[in-house]
Amino acid sequence: MIRKTFESEIQLVKDEVLLLGSMVEHAIIGSVEALKKRDLKASEKLIAEDKEINKKRFAIENQLMILIATQQPMAHDLRLLASTMEIISELERMGDYAKGIANINLRMGEEALLKPLIDIPRMAQKGADMLHRALTAFINEDVEVAKSIPVEDDEVDALYNQIYRELMMFVIQDPKTIERANWLLWVAHNLERVADRVTNICERTIFIATGEFGEIKSSDDEFWKGQKSS
Amino acid sequence: MEKNYAIESNKLSIHYGHFTAVRDVSIKIEPQKITAIIGPSGCGKSTLLRALNRMNDFVPGCHVTGELLLQGQNLYGRDIDPVEVRRKIGMVFQKPNPFPKSIYENIAWGARINGFKGKMDDLVEQSLRSAALWDEVKDKLQESAYALSGGQQQRLCIARTIAIQPEIILMDEPASALDPISTLRIEELMQELKKNYTIIIVTHNMQQAARASDFTAMMMIDDQRAGGVIEFDETKKIFTRPQDKRTEDYVTGRFG
């Protein structure tokens, strides 16, 4: 026996999550693109669009609450709805990181970039790509893919480390660059957090499919370990 | 522009002699939606439902005040034929009550006495299909309806109601005598039926109201033991942010 009505409601929610995900992907890529081109108008637009992301998140949250209240989900259905609640909050936070990057571009005003952006767009691209695949894995409840994505976080961390060292070199050579270096470090940090949140989404997907809670290795630890030893 | 409602009541009260069982119910039922009536035992849910198709006429001493409007016509007006009201507003009861006849005759009989002139075989098939029963009974239409399971009997009763093409279907605890699978089947069937009919269901199963309905009317008795609708809203609102504290207490299981 299939609960047709409930199933189609769940499908609707999943579609909305994908839509929210694509808004966030667009915001991440767009925020770095605007920074790279020093396009302040584009950054202002992205900040305005973040409100739409927040609105969408609350709309999905409301949908989920109604489904939990009216459809009495159990077992897999319950894990799915409860985890989706978590996932949309991760997505909204990722949107905030993109907004943060847009804000940095505005704060920099007329100031030129300390260096041409090469690794930062790479980080953004990598993070958005991981996010895209993580959401596909969520929709398909594909445990294998969900397990494989967080491993790629190491690449993002490696890029972050590289950017960090590079910017430190600038600061050491000329302390007057500290502010401009700091802007870019914030940007990189935001992007590094994006990838971490993708890991959280993957953990939720595994939980939905298997019922097992588990934390996939956080590369944050690796990063800080690296800092202490150097 | 004024909205069209399937049926609306205006200060509808139901009295048994001097006792008022239901007081001043004013609700507007949306067409092609499922409206659930919920509330604790004895709050007048079934009494109200029965008043909607003048079933209470059969209860000695029962009289109704206020208005009940179907397409602008007061169903308690002087020139109204209650039999015609019941043709337009069908009822499915708590306990499946098929006639002691064949499956086929259960559907054909009501249609025949209502003057159906078309092809009876087609009507029987169409009604059984609409009630999601055709595939299970098509090879045994001449067998007794009593040979069917409880869930099937209830769907047969729904098919019988549909066969006379009512505008509104009233359901009084239609799944309370059924197992969970049959219950779910009835609920899914209701979702199909609402494409063509307006459904009003009384249920003491709050979860069922939550799952299956679009609108919910919450009933409760007042200090004179008369039932009334204390809150009427979209089901999703009733179960996530009810406005009345008593509704909140009821849906969260803190009352009744």
| Model confidence pLDDT, tens digit, residues A31-90 | 999 999 999 999 999 999 999 999 999 999 999 999 999 999 999 999 999 999 999 999
Residue A229 has pLDDT above 50, yes or no: no
For residue B91, the cross-strand partners are B170
Are B236 and A3 in contact (CB < 8 Å)? Answer: no
- Band of pLDDT at residue A4, cut at 50, 70 and 90: confident
Q: Is residue A226 part of a domain?
A: no
Instruction: Give the residue-averaged pLDDT of B177-205.
Output: 92
Are A72 and B236 in contact (CB < 8 Å)? Answer: no
Q: Average pLDDT of chain A?
A: 93
pLDDT given at position A215: 79
Q: Average pLDDT of chain B?
A: 93
The complex's ipTM works out to: 0.80
Residue B133 has pLDDT above 50, yes or no: yes
For residue B217, give how far its alpha carbon lies from the nearest alpha carbon of chain A (Å).
15
Q: Is residue A60 part of a domain?
A: yes
Dump the DSSP string for chain A: ---HHHHHHHHHHHHHHHHHHHHHHHHHHHHHHHHHHT-HHHHHHHHHHHHHHHHHHHHHHHHHHHHHHHH---HHHHHHHHHHHHHHHHHHHHHHHHHHHHHHHHHHTTPPPSS--SHHHHHHHHHHHHHHHHHHHHHHT-HHHHHHTGGGHHHHHHHHHHHHHHHHHHHHH-GGGHHHHHHHHHHHHHHHHHHHHHHHHHHHHHHHHH--------HHHHHHHHHHH-
Name which of A1, A70, A85 to mutate to probe chain B: the one with the most chain B Cβ atoms within 10 A of its Cβ: A70
- Band of pLDDT at residue B236, cut at 50, 70 and 90: very high
Q: Is residue A203 part of a domain?
A: yes
Nearest CB to A66; choose among B185, B188, B240: B240
Domains of chain A: total: 1
Instruction: Give the residue-averaged pLDDT of B213-219.
Output: 97
For residue A58, give how far its alpha carbon lies from the nearest alpha carbon of chain B (Å).
14
Q: Is residue A223 within 8 angstroms of chain B, CB to CB?
A: no
Helix, strand, coil distribution of chain B in percent, nearest 5:
40, 25, 35
For residue B181, give how far its alpha carbon lies from the nearest alpha carbon of chain A (Å).
7
Q: Is residue B191 within 8 angstroms of chain A, CB to CB?
A: yes
Q: Is residue A34 part of a domain?
A: yes
Residue B119 has pLDDT above 60, yes or no: yes
Q: Is residue A127 part of a domain?
A: yes
| Model confidence pLDDT, tens digit, residues A132-170 | 999 999 999 999 999 999 999 999 999 999 999 999 999
Segment 71-100 of chain A within 8 Å of chain B by CB: 71-72
Name which of B188, B199, B208, B235 to mutate to probe chain A: the one with the most chain A Cβ atoms within 10 A of its Cβ: B188
Q: Which of A26-35, B26-35, B176-185 has the lowest mean pLDDT?
A: B176-185
Q: Is residue A66 within 8 angstroms of chain B, CB to CB?
A: yes
pLDDT given at position A222: 54
Helix (H, G, I), strand (E, B) or coil at B93: coil
Q: Is residue A225 part of a domain?
A: no
Helix (H, G, I), strand (E, B) or coil at B32: coil
Q: Is residue B4 within 8 angstroms of chain A, CB to CB?
A: no
Q: Is residue A222 part of a domain?
A: no
Q: Is residue A219 part of a domain?
A: no
pLDDT given at position A225: 56
| Model confidence pLDDT, tens digit, residues A166-178 | 999 999 999 999 9
Segment 32-61 of chain A within 8 Å of chain B by CB: none
For residue A210, give how far its alpha carbon lies from the nearest alpha carbon of chain B (Å).
26
CATH code assigned at A59? 1.20.58.220
Are A70 and B235 in contact (CB < 8 Å)? Answer: yes
- Band of pLDDT at residue A221, cut at 50, 70 and 90: low
Residue A230 has pLDDT above 50, yes or no: no
Residue A2 has pLDDT above 90, yes or no: no
Residue A220 has pLDDT above 80, yes or no: no
Q: Is residue B248 within 8 angstroms of chain A, CB to CB?
A: no
Residue B2 has pLDDT above 80, yes or no: no
Q: Is residue B195 within 8 angstroms of chain A, CB to CB?
A: no
What residues make up the domain containing A25? 2-210
